[in-house]
Amino acid sequence: MFNFGDVNDSQKTAISTVEGPVLITAGPGTGKTFTLVQRAIYLIQESGVAPEQIMMATFTEKAAKELITRITNELTARNIIANVNEMYIGTFHSLCLRIIKDNLEFTRLKKNYRTLDAFDQAYIVFQNISRFRAIPNIESVFSTGAWRMAQEICTYVNNLLEELVDEKALKSDKNESIYVLGNVLEVYKQLLEESNLVDFASIQTEAYRLLHDNSEILNILQQKIQYIMIDEYQDTNYIQEQIIFLLAGEKKNICVVGDDDQGLYRFRGATIRNILEFPTKFFPGLCKVIPLVTNYRSNSDIVDFYNKWMDVTDGAKFKFSWDKFRYPKKINPHKKSLMNSSAVIKLSGVESEEEWHEKILKFITDLKYSGQLTNYNQIAFLFKSVKSERVTNLAKYLEANNINVYSPRSDMFFDRDEIKIALGIMMLLFPSYIIGLEQNAYQFLRPELKSYYVSCIKLANDFLNKPEHISFKRWVYNHGKVHASLKGSTDYTYSGLLYQMFEYEPFKSILGIDLTAGVADVRPARNLALLSQVIGKYEYLHKIDVLSTKTINKNTEILFNLYMRLLYEGGISEYEDDAEYAPSGCVSFLTIHQSKGMEFPIVIVDSLSSTPRKSTRDILVEIERKYFARPTYEPYDQIKFFDFWRLYYTAFSRAQDLLVLTCNEDKRTPSLYFKELYNELPSIDSSEFDIREFSFKDVKPVNLKETYSFTSHISVYETCPLQYKFYKELGFMPVRAGAMIFGRLVHETIEDIHRAAIRKEETTITEENVTKWFESNYAAISKAEHSYLGEAQRSVALTQVLRYIENQQDKWHLIQQAEVDVSLVEPNYIIEGKIDLVKGENGTVEIVDFKSEKKPDLNLQAKRLEQYRRQLHIYAYLIETRTGQKVSNMHLYYTGEEDGVPTITYPYTKTAIEGTMAGFDKIVKKIMKKEYNKCCNDIKVCKNCDFRFYCQHQ
């Protein structure tokens, strides 16, 4: 009998209704995640469903990690053995990428494709803007500025891709603007295909096309995935709905969960109609609708307040009706507040911004000194945007008064001293650039950016001119002298210079920080890591491997006057830790969108001057009417009201114990949409508010299971804990040193051979075909890495592959799996590994790991071979524990071996594997404790490490 625990009737129904379509409308704080977790457990325990038959799609990576963690913890508590990592759990994009990866040969993509983030996408368009400008009459639709045009193109193509609009149809339209967009979409698609790229929108279109056009693949997935659960369904778009229904097939075991009142992502293509129309997708009465309306999060005053917000849809000079565009509901508090004090109040400034700052500071300090507030992280400020000067001024004021502010999306990255000093010194290293700056030679450099660069240079000079920094100053001078009269080329790039700077203060102390310190203390180190990523990406996009006489001035100007300019204007978000959404000792400054899914004891909502604004584009309205698969849903004149009400409903419902509305009052603030409700609220100075009656909850700890592998984590840590700290924990980007594409080329071609064998297509494994696969892989790798092999090296690589075929003739039937991603959920973390080959017969399997080199001397390379042996132990443990198959042998296969036996074989020994796993667990515990104090003493390792300059005086 399934133990439901302490659930209400609606939750119990939602958990146990597992057959057929189900819609769970879950209001704020109604236990949505708990219900989803228990529903997955019910499927496994009560219905006997295998984990790999369950798919759960979430909106964020953090939500996916949380689901995996909570499900595995619950299974452990119930003594149920099941490997949750076999479930399809992840964001829509990650699940689509998984489907694409498993069936890559049926898509337009080739191996080594690159996924573009939003900036990458716009920058690629920007770099190819001439191709778009060649489209007749494009200026009638888009801005003329290259960067603005690139951004607008991305906005349009993302929308068109996600609605599966055909560019040929657009190109046949007589409307000139629609015709232009058809051509833009066509050129954009060509650009992606030519460069083997995929963006977030086309990840989904590729997955959809793959499933829609390949019935065999779709049938296999439909047989495998028997139950589908979709979280945050109100934020899904058209193509996601199509993918869901394709995968569900005739079974229709789809459970969607969401809150139509919290639909916030229309600007990303989401549509509320998916959740509102879901029951109509089936025969009448077939879909079970289960409302969750009991709120366990918030004080009853807060619940009453946001219920009223959704009900009041008219006032002075405005009126709208929800009509059919909202499920009627009233959220009920779990229990009525017994306090006399109101839990919803206002905090108003009336004279000046300074007075408002002082009132907020006094409110926070009064909370602290009352003893009711035990940690600043119990407070969250929510804004429509955290980038405005008004918000950043408040953050700076609080920090000046010893209240740390956590605001990763406020775009303060470029204002941080560590970044300004680093950029200032970087510019000083290139005297020619400084001269151009002084002489106003850069006509496209906007005054505000020039002013920023001048402030960076001044800060850097002030720092370098201090007596204690004379050695750093000398280093800058010497390098500047070299760059000013460079002959030939250097053996470093801009990234290399950044890493050399880490030898000196202030960077040395910043990087030496103990990572168990608070977020404000670790932030400078994380920002330097982010700067390394920014510069590293610039070098990749512009194919910069060295600084040379011919290109040094041009590349430096592009770096600062173009690339950095675009990032400066667009802003860079600082580091966010999924495992600590409310860092201890800091008040949080978050956007309302960012706060979705979170809860805080005290929430202070600002941005009360906001008004509903139209967000639709006329040309897209016309395209929607003509070419979208579905007719228009919500009335265009009402959308701005719907979105505005949903946004602030989400904000108000984040509060657990106390909700504060705040603004600096004037004629327009609060706006007429808030004024009536705002005026009814008691002030913090009112007798209706008594802080002594409150007992604020602690912020809930977030326990997320992290994933570790032998090669990416354990081996790195064992080589050098400091390297692990910098590369894996902080996220520094390694300097690109000639990509090792020989091994990848051999490896990927052998993978193609194995895939053909698994498909029972052994007859296609011929020298002619394998050579074609080899050349295709080489083209994709060299394009991705901007690196090339000489003809002689390519010939050696192909010979290794062909020799492998010779050695394996008549043994293809033994291959069971190739390039196997294996993972296993342990009590405190997840282990993963990627196995090159699994083969075998008669009930046992053998594991093969390929090395594209000659077989080593067993004595001279003992240490290295021992590392490989332990890696095979991990793979054997994963295979046996996850599948129950017995592993008999483990092999290293050396494709470079010409005459002798190409393998080194290790027999399966249980005690040896147990020893390796104990060592694995020991290292993981050190990583989880952030024990990164030790430095590597191996000269070979240090010689090739980017941080050798930082470490040399350690």
**Annotated binding-site residue numbers:** 26-33
Structure letter (DSSP) for residue 735: P
Give CA–CA dist 589/662, Å, rounded: 14
Beta-carbon contacts of 165 under 8 Å, excluding residues fewer than 6 positions away, are: 185, 623, 627, 628
- Could you tell me if 464 and 473 are in contact, meaning their C-beta atoms sit under 8 angstroms apart? yes
Whether 846 and 889 have beta carbons less than 8 Å apart is answered as yes
Using alpha carbons, list the distances in angstroms from residue 548 to 425, 477, 492, 500, 837.
20, 19, 10, 18, 44
Q: Are 699 and 582 in contact (CB under 8 A)?
A: yes
Cα 27 to Cα 728: distance, rounded to the nearest angstrom: 38
CA distance 789 to 797: 10
Residue indicated by tokens 């890493």: 499
Cβ distance 51 to 88 under 8 Å? no
Nearest Cα neighbor of 263 from 609, 639, 677, 610 is: 639
Rounded to whole angstroms, the Cα distance separating 746 from 741 reads 9
498 three-class SS: helix
Task: Give the 3-state secondary structure percentages of the chain, helix then strand then coil, rounded to 5.
Answer: 55, 15, 35
Give yes or no for a contact between 454 and 560, defined as CB atoms under 8 angstroms apart: no
DSSP 854: P
Q: Which segments are annotated as binding site for ATP?
A: 26-33
For residues 212 and 242, what is the distance between their CA atoms, to the nearest angstrom? 9
- H/E run at residue 799: helix 791-808
Q: Which residues have a Cβ under 8 Å from the Cβ of 801 and sit 6 or more positions away?
A: 746, 749, 750, 753, 770, 774, 895
The contacts of residue 408 (CB under 8 Å, 6+ apart) are 573, 574, 575, 576
CA 169/CA 456 separation, integer angstroms: 51
**Range 814-852 burial, b when 16+ CB lie within 10 A, else e:** ebbbbbbebbbbeeebbbbbebbbbbbeeeebbbbbbbb
Record the tokens describing residue 910, joined without a space: 């249980």
> Could you write out the DSSP letters of every residue in 760-794?
T-GGG--HHHHHHHHHHHHHHHHHHHT----HHHH
- Amino acid symbol at 539: E
Does the bond joining 506 to the residue before it have cis omega, within 30 degrees of 0? yes
Residue at token pair 């969750």: 292
C-beta separation of 933 from 488 below 8 A = no
C-alpha span between 629 and 166 (Å, rounded): 11
- Token pair for residue 742? 């020989």
Classify residue 368 by burial, with Cβ atoms within 10 Å: 0-12, 13-18, 19+: middle
Query: How is residue 456 written in tokens?
Result: 């960076």
For residue 495, which phi and psi values (nearest 5 degrees)? -60, -45
